[in-house]
Structure 1
Amino acid sequence: MSQDECDLPEGLIWEILLWLPGRLLLQLRTVCRSWNSLISSHEFVMHHHQRSTQPRLVYCSLESEGIDFMQCSVSSLLYNKQPTRIEPLQMKYKIFQGSCNGLLCLCEGLPYKNLTLFNPCTRWVSLIVPFEYPHGDDPHPVFCGFGYDALRNKYKFVTCSRTSITAGGLGGRAKVCSLDANPSWKTVDHPMFPYFTCCHSGTFVSGSLNWIAHDHPSKNKEDDDPFKLLEWFILTFEMETESFGRLCLPRNNHTYPGFYGEVPSLHVLKNLLSICFHPAYENTAAFTIWIMKEYGVEKSWTILLTIRFRDGIIPPNIWLEPLYISEDDILLALGKFYRGKLFAYNFRIGKVDISSNSLSIYPLSKLSNGRFFHGYHESLISCLP
């Protein structure tokens, strides 16, 4: 079939195709040359991702030899009555470092030897890029992040040391890799203040990477226990300017007792930066999710969800990791201390579903702590323009 043989206007065909799943579009590219050209165009691919209604859940399992990456449908988990079937991605021995626009960023080896981008929908794989550490040949522990520079239409990978304290004093260096047809690394300035990060992979939203961090405990020299009070904040890295910064946590909830106390966690929910507080083992406390309605504006922090432990909806000893929130306000979360079990919580009616078959992943339905989950939206994007 050619475009001339189709009675529908080109604009209407465009609109119809935009709402179809990515996997179906891959098949429709073979219908005719004009459809292949349309579906393969950069403009269509980007518009399709913006309208994507196909949330997916990718996870790696440590149950078998090595690390196996798999994926499944979020909608199937939440709404189907039968256990959800998984799809193996055949990407073993990789470490997940984040996602952006439907692309997964994977590192290989410990210490890291190289990094790769992978699109689970199209099965597109980028060039393998040799890893470069911030301190040269010294594989010092690092935290990393993956995101998109919209100004230059480039995907970037950032890595830096866990602390900015170096032998020469405060400050240090970070490495940024531009992932395109000719990948290249460069060194950028590190923030000039002492801190430690508490999360390994950065959370990308609104053009910036974000990590939970705290000020260096040595600032509390007047206290016998330097870890008694820690000042938590969000360390940021802006992709376009390649500069670091910091954001305050909501409502001054940034001071917590105990170095090994409950660390807040960062997520992307409803396409907004969100932070989760879970003071475990306190029946009078609550599991709380905040969202930043306008990125970078600290006054825009707003409570999205609160579950009080005393109400008995969830016990206080279960650490919830939010994964996805649907349009009808159903939260999909992982109960980290409940043997790795998935939760679905409808916060319109205050009901949690813990044991439904729909929250089982087949054939890996056994309870396990050896899985790591991440939500993303299906897309046709590759990192090459």
Structure 2
Amino acid sequence: MMMSYEEELLPHDVIIEILSWLPPKKLLKFRSVCKSWNSTISNAKFIVEHQSHFGNLTNNNNGCIVIATRKDSGSLTSLKLSLVQDSNPEMVYDIMESKFDVTECYSIMGSCNGLFCWASFRIDDGPIQLCNPSIRWTTLVPPFPFNKNFLFPHVFRYCYGVGFDRFAIDYKVVKFIGPLSDSRHGIAAIYSVMAKSWKIVNSPVPSYLICGFSWSFFLHGFIHWLVYSHKKYKIILFDICNNVFREMQLPVINGDNNEISIYAVKNSLCLLETKTEVDSKIYHVSIMKEYGIAESWTKQFSIVLKNGISKCITLTVGGKFLCSAEKSNGLSQLILYDSERNEYINVGEAQAPTLTCANICPLVATLQLLDVVGNYRN
């Protein structure tokens, strides 16, 4: 049996190992080298291995920030995606644009391994989209309407999350609404990207009041949402492999008027407390040293950002602060602050009059969804 030219140079397993450490953009180009490389790079097991090598490397150091900006024209909403690299924030790339027949209640609802979920927090049967901006790849998820007799009118918000089931090697989308009174029960459903089907989750849904826009992220096998329940903040978790909800406690938070948010920073759970003073804002950063151990919450540092910055929008996966400063033309200047170097870098203007029209989400570059049949490149 004759060996191919590539096998004469290097064994196939060595080639796969080398490819698994390369960035997604390069791998997309390498798919055209030969049928063997195309099959390997599009294979689900290779994508998982690539995530463990290249994905974890960027997740612990530098990732990217996706800025999703809406532009409404009647009932048609145009979603424009821009990508900012954490390691090179002065370069902003416009990567893709999609159009939806939706309303203003659509936003980024969750992220996992470089993917994010775009959905409505009020429209029960609206379209859902999974996006991988690093390779310009998207897939539509069919809607799953809950029983209308269950829902309270006008006072509910749907929550979404995206997670990866490492045992099934499958991405899943979770949709739920929690109980709004002791007389009602929450309800949840989960969608399998591999099976292309929904099913009801039997696990009880914890009671909650959603904080912010109910954005979620995936870390260590769990989807995380920040909620307010029984007069205190806590985290709702969803175990993506076992399809059950859990709860996680936060450290003691001083002050009732503090703004609270949670992030995944360098593969750890991070808490950001924003305390507003008379003429400034103080940002307190805490890290959970041992995941799942409430006693391991440790305050890292506190900072006051320079004058002119109006707010901190998000933390990147590398731990940098993405901030905004209002400009005289009515737009917002995006600024990336590196606390370790005490360095401010201008990213660019927000592409909407206010950042309430845009959703910003930290991500890592990945090949995920490339192997899913039915996807399309925008």
Specify if TM > 0.5: yes
Residue 374 of structure 2 is aligned to residue 373 of structure 1: no
Say whether the 8 Å CA contact 1:267–1:274 is kept in structure 2: yes
Say whether the 8 Å CA contact 1:237–1:244 is kept in structure 2: yes
> Counterparts of 1:117-156 in structure 2 under 5 Å?
117-133=130-146, 138=151, 140-156=156-172
> Counterparts of 1:117-196 in structure 2 under 5 Å?
117-133=130-146, 138=151, 140-165=156-181, 169=183, 171-191=185-205, 194-196=207-209
Query: Residue in 2 aligned with 1:70?
Result: 81
Distance 1:108 1:346, change over 3 A: closer
State the SS of the aligned residue for 2:202: strand
Residue 314 of structure 2 is aligned to residue 322 of structure 1: yes
The runs of 5 or more residues in structure 2 that have no matched partner are: 374-378
Structure 1 window deviating more from structure 2 (35-44 vs 137-146): it is: 137-146
Query: Residue in 1 aligned with 2:109?
Result: 97
Say whether the 8 Å CA contact 2:219–2:267 is kept in structure 1: yes
Q: Which amino acid aligns with 2:176?
A: C
Query: Residue in 1 aligned with 2:31?
Result: 29
Distance 1:365 1:77 in 2: 19
Query: Residue in 2 aligned with 1:346?
Result: 338
Distance 2:333 2:116 in 1: 23
Query: Residue in 1 aligned with 2:277?
Result: 281
Distance 1:275 1:108 in 2: 26
Shift of 1:284: 8.7
Distance 1:154 1:5, change over 3 A: closer
Say whether the 8 Å CA contact 1:172–1:189 is kept in structure 2: no
TM-score (normalizing by structure 2): 0.79
Percent identical residues:
24
Q: Which amino acid aligns with 1:360?
A: G
Pairs aligned (count): 348
Say whether the 8 Å CA contact 1:293–1:300 is kept in structure 2: yes
Distance 2:209 2:70 in 1: 28
Query: Residue in 2 aligned with 1:211?
Result: 225
Q: Which amino acid aligns with 1:100?
A: C
> Counterparts of 1:267-306 in structure 2 under 5 Å?
267-281=263-277, 286-306=282-302
* 1:86 equivalent among 63, 76, 94: 94
> Counterparts of 1:228-247 in structure 2 under 5 Å?
230-247=231-248
The runs of 5 or more residues in structure 1 that have no matched partner are: 217-229
Distance 1:202 1:157, change over 3 A: same
Shift of 1:373: 0.8
Distance 2:38 2:279 in 1: 58
Distance 1:346 1:16 in 2: 32
Residue 348 of structure 2 is aligned to residue 360 of structure 1: yes
Distance 1:90 1:2 in 2: 42
- Alpha-carbon displacement from aligned partner over 1:52-78 (angstroms, at most 9, x marks no partner): 347332222135642423122414643
* Larger strand proportion of the pair: 2
- Alpha-carbon displacement from aligned partner over 1:75-134 (angstroms, at most 9, x marks no partner): 4643x5xx5342233354553222212222222695141322233344443343123237
Say whether the 8 Å CA contact 1:162–1:197 is kept in structure 2: no
Query: Residue in 1 aligned with 2:376?
Result: none
Shift of 1:277: 0.3
